[in-house]
Structure 1
Amino acid sequence: MTDLHDPAQFRTALRTWLDQTDLTPPEDHTLAGHMRQFARVQRALYDAGWSRYGWPEHAGGLGGPAMLRAIVGEEIVGRRLAEPGPYSMLEVLAPTMIDYAAPTLAAEMVPKLLSGEEQWCQGFSEPGSGSDLASLTTRAVPDAGGERYVISGQKVWTSFAQYSHRCILLTRTGDADTPNHQAITAFFVDMDTPGITVRPLRTMHDVDEFCEVYFDDVVVDRSRMLGKLGDGWQLAMDLLPYERSTCFWQRIAYLYSRFDALVDEVKSQGQSADSELGEVYLALHTLRCRSRATQHRLADGHKLGPDTSIDKVLLAGAEQGLYDTARHLLPGVIELDGTDWRTEFLYSRAATIYGGTAEVQRNIIARRLLDLGKE
């Protein structure tokens, strides 16, 4: 009898199901098309039970180790049945809800995210508060009765906000004397609440994945506070291990699929580029080995901290190296052709920025892991 809580048996059974289930993406390469395909895949996975494994039963899951979630993501993204971007939001935000929301709210909402019924977004960064998140200025002020909060401010780089039903939002709730890290509170906000305006931003890779979101006197019930007053900074810190473990694992699977495509295209042109392709493979393999160790540390219950900055630096380097090599080995494809290579090359330029800039990550490694001080 198959034990679906065993990772090896789970992967085998999932692969068999995927081989027998047609989840082929339609020929719609727009962002809207990717979002529809992601919802379709999630619905199928949820109905068959696969996307419920690795999640706690009290939040609508079927239990088992968190590693099972990584396997599902790796198989889905590696087969290019769904894009890694939307999938990453699932893995970052659902654990945050489970850990910080009231149990009844988590039990109601998490299945909606897992099943593809809803999409959520993450309202953290602001125009003046990206890597320095503690300086955010979006403000939540309690009303006279203290049962509702009125939120005003602006967020930016909010991925998929125009498609999202809810937002996990960081706000400032302390007064002028409250230390920055103790003055931040998180809320779970419905995106159709009056006063919210979403403005998509079209980036240089010609996709409006990121958005500005404006909050003008948006009223949120106190019951939608995640954790307690002032818990927002800790919530953000607890979110990082998920962003840099399972999400990275999915991203790596995607990059391997693109590496295989690059190898095939180079071979079809009769080129010999073993050295350059070998360097890319080595960078990807190093990243995968590091990420695997991180996955196992998280699965074993270890607290992840500044050491995940290493994962972030390796990911950015491997991703940009892959697309730099594609540009060199496929002359003109990046500059002249409207293919995935062009779009992805342009997107890869942000790999050293999103999720924490490379400079900040190297500073963390130097100061907190190597104890090199500030000089």
Structure 2
Amino acid sequence: MNVGEFRAAVRAWLDENDLAPAPDHSFEAQVAQLSRVRRALYDAGWMRYGWPAEVGGLGGPAVLRAVLGEEVANRDLAEPGIYSMIEVLAPTMISYAVPELAAQMVPLLLSGREQWCQGFSEPGSGSDLASLSTRAVPRGDDWVINGQKVWTSLAQYASRCVLLTRTAPGHGGITAFFVDMDTPGITVRPLRTMHGVDEFAEVYFDDVVVPGDRMLGRPGDGWQVAMDLLPHERSTCFWHRITYLFTRLDRILAEADLGTADDDELGAAYLALHTARCRSRSTQQRLADGAALGPETSIDKVLLATSEQQLFDTARDLLPGTLELTDSEWRPEFLYSRAATIYGGTAEIQRNIIARRLLRLGAE
């Protein structure tokens, strides 16, 4: 099935099957809706396209997954940030878990039967991932983990965690594990953000015992796990997010008084989003062609973050009072957009990467 046929078939199926979310906008309802959407798409086969047969997939190019996520985002069926986590976690399992474990676990994620989380960031070790300190120590065939993670999305709903730990000094001393979240010694404390959502959590590991066969790759492969994860985060995930942001631009056009609107501001918001989408499409194509993605994806991150903030600045300006005086969806979305230049690597770090690794500035 080519991309055009796949898109047409997915659209026809979605037209016939009502997956619209309930009016409840709580985060708990969003997570439940995510499971519902994944389960329905998996049972109908759509969620299995683009994934290898070894993990329950139906094969085909990975771009089919991008198309499916685009259609989900266009219809507002699931919150795009948590929907797209599958594009980070499932490829990691396929690449680094032992085949038997990947075959057992990945279908649970694809089908919505489970949610997983990603334990990377720590207090004082966010964008500087190499400085993480959560430690794993061998004990017989097992490993004992102690430490703390923070900004862990969906941790309070997750059954499993892809976890980075330190097993030796330096980049080569980071090791990844696939941890069951009901293991004794794990404590999850949700964090309430300024936009009123408990999406993130602190996670504490106190003498948590993890079997050796739950290691992803070999000891010291954790840094490479993180680097291999970025191409998926900054290709398909970004594509989904940009699609969603275009639906918000459409809402601005529908709700604003266009007779008094600033055409320059609207045009600038559209141009910023269009530029991010063009860049994202190029990245998607390079990944589909088998190219190794590297520091150039920092450009994608900067373009997406700045365009998202510009879009919601435009909403604030063209829908006067809506953010400040009402409880509409615009307020939490505007507040969430303030973090776009922080999460997933701060804008400052991304610009440093662009300057040093792409433009070769400051080498002297």
TM-score, length basis structure 2: 0.99
- Find the counterpart in structure 2 of residue 172 from structure 1: 166
Q: Deviations over 1:144-198 (max 9, x none)?
A: x2x1001000000000100100000000011xxx4x1010000000000000000
| Correspondence for 2:142 among 148, 151, 175 | 148
Is 1:236 aligned to residue 226 of structure 2?
yes
- Match of 1:140, SS state, is strand
Deviations 1:226-285 (A, max 9, x none): 000000000000000000000000000110000000110014x74333221111100110
Corresponding residue number in structure 1 for 2:342: 353
Work out the CA distance in 1 between the residues paired with 2:98 and 2:24: 39
Specify the SS of the correspondent of 1:197: strand
Matches within 5 A, 1:252-263: 252-263=242-253
2:198 partner SS: coil
Does 1:326 pair with 2:315? yes
Q: Which of 364, 368, 373 is equivalent to 2:353?
A: 364
**SS, match of residue 76 in structure 1:** helix
Cα offsets for 1:17-40 (capped at 9, x unmatched) = 111110010111000000000100
Runs (4+) of structure 1 exceeding 6 A deviation are: none
Aligned to 2:304, what secondary structure does the other structure show?
Answer: helix
Q: Distance in 1 between matches of 2:358 and 2:197?
A: 37
Aligned to 1:79: 75
The corresponding residue for 1:22 is 18
Of stretches 299-308 and 329-338 in structure 1, the one that deviates more from structure 2 is: 329-338
| 2:160 pairs with 1:161 | no
Partner Cα separation in structure 2 for residue 320 and residue 23 of structure 1: 29
Q: What secondary structure, in the 3-state scheme, does the structure 2 residue paired with 1:208 have? A: coil
Q: Give the CA RMSD over aligned residues.
A: 1.0
Identity %: 71
Separation in 2 of the partners of 1:271 and 1:138?
A: 54
Deviation at 1:8, TM superposition (A): 1.1
Other-structure match for 2:133 = 137
How many residue pairs are counted as aligned between the two chains?
Answer: 364
* Separation in 1, partners of 2:64, 2:9: 12
Indicate yes or no: 2:35 matched with 1:39: yes
- Equivalent residue for 2:189, pick from 199, 214, 217: 199
- Which residue in 2 is equivalent to 1:119? 115
Instruction: Output the amino acid matched with 2:253.
Output: V
Question: In the aligned structure 2, how far is the partner of 1:326 from the partner of 1:262?
Answer: 6
CA distance in 2, matches of 1:374, 1:258: 41
Q: Deviations over 1:322-367 (max 9, x none)?
A: 0001111111111121111100100000000000000000010011
8 Å contact from structure 2 (residues 261, 318) kept in 1: no
Please list every run of 5 or more consecutive structure 2 residues that lacks an aligned counterpart in the other structure: none
TM-score by length of 1: 0.96
Give the counterpart of 2:90 among 94, 97, 102.
94
User: Which residue, 250, 268, 273 being the options, matches 1:279?
Assistant: 268
Cα distance in 1 for residues equivalent to 2:92 and 2:313: 35
CA distance in 1, matches of 2:360, 2:351: 12
Aligned to 1:219: 209
Rounded Cα–Cα distance in structure 1 between residues aligned with 2:44 and 2:361: 51
Partners of 2:101 and 2:355 lie apart in 1 by 40
Q: Which of 241, 251, 272 is residue 251 of structure 1 equivalent to? A: 241
CA distance in 2, matches of 1:148, 1:340: 47
Partner letter of residue 184 of structure 2?
P
Aligned position for 2:6: 10
Q: 2:52 aligns with which of 48, 53, 56?
A: 56
Contact 2:50 2:65 in 1 (8 A): yes
